[in-house]
Amino acid sequence: MSTFVEVVNAGGFAAAAQRLGVSRAQVSKAVMRLEAHLGTRLLNRTTRRISLTETGRVYYERCREILEEIDEVERIAGEQSDRPRGRLTVSAPTSFGILHLKQLIPEYITAYPEVQVSLSLSDRFVDVVAEGFDLAIRIGELEDSSLIARRIAPSRRVFCASPEYLARQGTPKVPQDLAIHACLIYANDLKPDTWTLHGPRGTESVRVNGPVCADNGDILRASALAGLGVTLLPTFIVGPDLASGRLQQVLHTYCPADISIHAVYPSRRHLSAKVRTFVEFLVRQFGNDTDGDQFIKAS
C-alpha cells in the first residue's frame, strides 16, 4: 500500500523507486502483486505516464488516510516509550514495601507525575508474566528463569535474639549450637530448615527447628522481640532493633550466605519508560550501599 501511494505521489515507477531507495522493477512488482491481490487494476500505464483508474483513485485516497493514521499511531507509541506514563504494576515483599517503598513511591510519582503505581505486597513468589506485573522486587537467591534481573542493593542478614531469650537460654557460640536453640524460621527460603553459615572453619550448615515458621519477616521479628528464639533476618527489618538493643546479634564471626535485592521484569527489549525509570530510581536510592548497613540507619 505504501509503495502504491508513493508511485502515485511521485508520478511514476522510476521516481518512486528513487524515493524509496529500491529498483524500478521492485516497485513495479509490488504494485502488480497488490493489483493481483485485489483482483482489479489500480493504474493505467503507458510508456510515458501513469494514471489512476476509477477504483485506483478511491483506493489511493483510503490508503493515504490509513497510512497517515499508522504514522500517527507510531508517533504516539514512540512518545509513550520515551516518556514515563500509564499504570506501573509492582509486586514486592510485604516488609520491604511497608518499610521502604511507602516513602519512595511518593518521591517517584512526584518526579514522574504521569505514572500511576499499583503496588501489591506479598511474600509469596508471584509469576510476573502470568499475573501481569510490570516488575517484581525479589530478595534472596533467584531461581533460573527467563526474567531479566537488575541488582538494586545487597541485603545483609544477621542472626539475632532478644536479650531476655539469651539470658534465659544462653548465647549460641558456634553454628551447631543453633540445633539446640529455638529458631524462628523464614518459610520462603529455598531450604527453610537449614541455615548455612560462613565462618572461621569455612562453610557450615545446621538443621534448625523452633516454635514459629512464617513467610513474613515482621512476624519473625515480633516473635524474636517476644523472646521466642533466634532468628535470621535482613537488617532492613531488624536494623532499628539492633541499634536500640531490643535485639542482639549473635554468632558475630559467622555470616549467612549473601543475598541481594533485585528488580525482575519480563524483557530488556522494548522496555517501557515507566519500568526503566522506576528501576533506575530504586538503584539510585539503594545502589550506593555496599554491605546493606544503610538499612540499619534508614529503617
216-229 burial string, b = 16+ CB within 10 Å, else e? bbebbbebbbebbb
Write the pLDDT tens digit of every residue in 70-84: 887 877 666 565 688
Distance CA 240, CA 14 (A): 76
Residue pair 149/264 in contact (Cβ under 8 Å)? The answer is yes
Amino acid found at 3? T
Beta bridge pairs of residue 121: 92
The predicted structure's pLDDT at residue 80? 60
Residue pair 209/162 in contact (Cβ under 8 Å)? The answer is no
Task: For residue 55, give the DSSP letter.
Answer: H
Per the listing, cell 538494586 goes with 152
Instruction: Look up residue 63 and give its three cell numbers.
Output: 490508503
pLDDT at 259 over 70: yes
Which helix (H) or strand (E) segment holds residue 91: the answer is strand 86-92
Residue pair 180/291 in contact (Cβ under 8 Å)? The answer is no
Mean pLDDT value across the chain? 88
pLDDT at 173 over 70: yes
The predicted structure's pLDDT at residue 195? 93
Amino acid found at 181? H
Q: Taking the model in full, what pTM does it have?
A: 0.61
pLDDT at 35 over 70: yes
Write the pLDDT tens digit of every residue in 87-119: 999 999 988 898 889 889 999 999 999 999 999
Report residue 68's pLDDT band, with 50, 70 and 90 as the boundaries. confident
The predicted structure's pLDDT at residue 73? 81
Per the listing, cell 548465647 goes with 171
The predicted structure's pLDDT at residue 272? 85
Strands 115-121 vs 255-256: parallel, antiparallel or unpaired: unpaired
Is the alpha carbon torsion for 220, 226, 230, 235 positive or negative?
A: positive
Residue pair 248/163 in contact (Cβ under 8 Å)? The answer is yes
Nearest alpha carbon to residue 118 among 84, 98, 88? 88
Report residue 296's pLDDT band, with 50, 70 and 90 as the boundaries. very low
Residue pair 114/249 in contact (Cβ under 8 Å)? The answer is no
Most confident of 120-134, 261-275, 276-290: 120-134
Distance CA 11, CA 31 (A): 14
The predicted structure's pLDDT at residue 172? 95
